[in-house]
Structure 1
Amino acid sequence: MESNKLAVNVACLVGRYKVKALHPICLECCDVPSQWLDNILKRDTVLEVYNAAYILKNTLLVTKCLQLLLTCADQVLASPQVCCLAEDAFTFLLGHSLCVKSEAVILNAAIAW
């Protein structure tokens, strides 16, 4: 891929629309984008990074994202970016204990997705 951002976007589209033919290509290109994703991991990018890390099967980066989510789950789940998560990534995220003020936050995120 010509850029890290492009590689991440393609990986996210592959995950979102389940384009199985492109999945191996994304996995081949995952080293540089994974390092780049690790560098941009912040509260405002956590869902984008998490989604790409999950699709690229980078368990270390997924774990880092889940740890960051422990500190800001309410704000992150209320963001419009939740709609961009791949189905499997969203399901996996909801399977974890998230510290939220109310279960309504999780319900609203599911409805928005």
Structure 2
Amino acid sequence: MGAHDTVNSRDPAAIKKAAGRFDLVLSTVNVQMDWNAVLATLKPRGALQMPGAVTAPLDINLLPHMMFSQLSVGSSPVGAPVVIRRMLEFAARHNIAPINEHFPMSKVNDAFEHLRSGKATC
């Protein structure tokens, strides 16, 4: 989908190994994580962006990563129309298309299990 690299957020060793590698971390999960470890994966002046909502307060230490590396954390539930238009134009220009899977309503429990097991296409 256009990402240059990914890290399994369920693998603390993989997160630690990625220290200082990323300009941007796009987190689309809505679960509590070790956000300080995630921030440590950012390069100086990097950004953690969260398009969505985490239901619990973020446990983020100002020091050392946020202040000394000048990191930022941002979130938005929905982009402004101009931002959405730019995003769609970017996707079209780079041939980025959605990936989806379909299950009949009679298989809704199978679909949820497919998602929970981590087998969903991503």
Structure with higher RCO (Cα < 8 A, 6+ apart): 1
Indicate the structure (1 or 2) with the bigger Cα radius of gyration: 2
> Which one has the bigger helix percentage?
1
TM-score, normalization by structure 2: 0.30
Structure 1 or 2: more strand by fraction: 2
